[in-house]
Structures are given as C-alpha cells and as structure tokens.
Amino acid sequence: MTFYSSVAGKRATSLSIYVPYAGVWRADCELDDDSALANTVEIKLGASTWTGTVVRQYAGTFAMRTSARIAGGAGGWGTLLKPRHYHDDAGVRTALVVRDAAREAGENLTTAAYERATLGTDFVRARVPAARVLEQSLGSTPWWVAADGTTRVGPRAATEMKAPYDLLAFDPRFKVATLAIDDPSAIGIGTVLRGGAELSVRELNYVVSGDSLRVTAWGVAP
C-alpha cells in the first residue's frame, strides 16, 4: 500500500521510529522542506500520532531539506538535576521522588499504580540526569515514554497480534522479525506474534522509506 508519514504537518521522505522496552523512544526523519521546526512536533505514522521534541543538536537543513532527531515526550529525561534530600519517618514515597524529577525535567509522568511504594526513611538524589533518578528509585520496574509523550511506569501489557501482516523475514536464533503491515498501531511493545515468528515484542523499529513501511521487531519467546 502507499504509506504516508509526516512531521509537524510536513511530508517525511524518510522516517524511522525506534521504540525500546523501557526509556525514551526516538525518531529520525528527513523532510522535503527547509522551514524551521517548532520544539514540540507531532509525527503522523499512518493513523497513529507520536508527540515528541526536536533534539536541536541533531537537527538542521541542507539543500532545501530538513533532517532531525525527535525524542519522545518533552525531551527532558537527560536534564541534569540538582541534588536533593528526602526524609519521611513513614517512608519516602517513590511517586514523590519520580514526580519531582519529571516536573523539574519538564516531563509529564503518571505513577498511579505506585502510590504506596516507598524508598525507606531517607533518599538522597545526587546531581544526575533525571532518567537516572527514575532508574535509582524504581529499581527493576520499567518506565517508558508512550506515543502521546506521557511517561508511564510499569510493565507493558501483553496483547495478541490481531491485524493482518506479511512476515518478510525471521531469525529464530535472535528472535528478530521483519514485517510489512498496513496499520503500525496494531503492533507495539508486548505484542505477541504467532505463526511463523513466535515472539513477544520487546523492541520495535518502524521505518518508512518513500511510500513503504517496514517494521523490525526484536523479542523473546512468548
């Protein structure tokens, strides 16, 4: 099928969106337009919308074309935060620590499922990037930026793949599948593929080149 993608309303001649299991998704694009991009942009990938922030040191124009990298959300999880000491005799709430980090980094974060979790009576936040604060306070609990730019805390939901797709290649050793699919929103982290490629998706890369879309999925056995 003919596949359309755009960034800030401008047609993308090439677009790649990499989505990890945890952390921040990122997109790299080329536009046949040399007008300036705003800081916050919307990416249209078929019927799906992704909201992110242009990374200025990886953006520019040449020969009437624009190239840019876009980080999911507000692009603030790399922000270096000031040291801070937390104390609570009843236990420092994890949600308080990660919300403070998100607010100071300019990110929108939801922690509803972790309101009662605590970190002990004292927690010292060093002078570190905001993402490091999440890693320290959440431990093995994953955090991730959704397509809408909101940061979520907790594991991804497992869902069975229901939309039709063509399996173009599959490496059973490393659980890597390459797909052609009409609706990219039908596959995400946690999607379970069966029949030809047996895997639960842990990483994704959507690549639009010209008018075609290919999806590479890395995973583990379901």
Residue-by-residue pLDDT tens, the chain, 222 positions: 557 899 999 999 999 999 999 999 999 999 988 888 999 999 999 889 999 999 999 999 888 889 999 999 999 999 999 999 999 999 999 999 999 999 999 999 987 666 678 999 999 999 999 999 999 999 888 999 999 999 999 888 899 998 899 999 999 999 999 999 988 999 999 999 998 899 999 999 999 987 788 999 999 998
Decide which of 122, 148, 174 is a domain's last residue.
Answer: 148
* Token pair recorded at residue 28: 């790299």
Does one domain contain both 116 and 67? Answer: no
Assigned domain for 188 exists: yes
Does one domain contain both 28 and 64? Answer: yes
Assigned domain for 117 exists: yes
Decide which of 125, 148, 171 is a domain's last residue.
Answer: 148
Assigned domain for 134 exists: yes
Assigned domain for 103 exists: yes
Q: How many domains does the chain fold into?
A: 3
**Model's pTM, two decimal places?**
0.93
Which residue segment(s) compose the domain that 179 sits in?
A: 159-220
Cβ–Cβ < 8 Å for 9, 218: no
Does one domain contain both 91 and 35? Answer: no
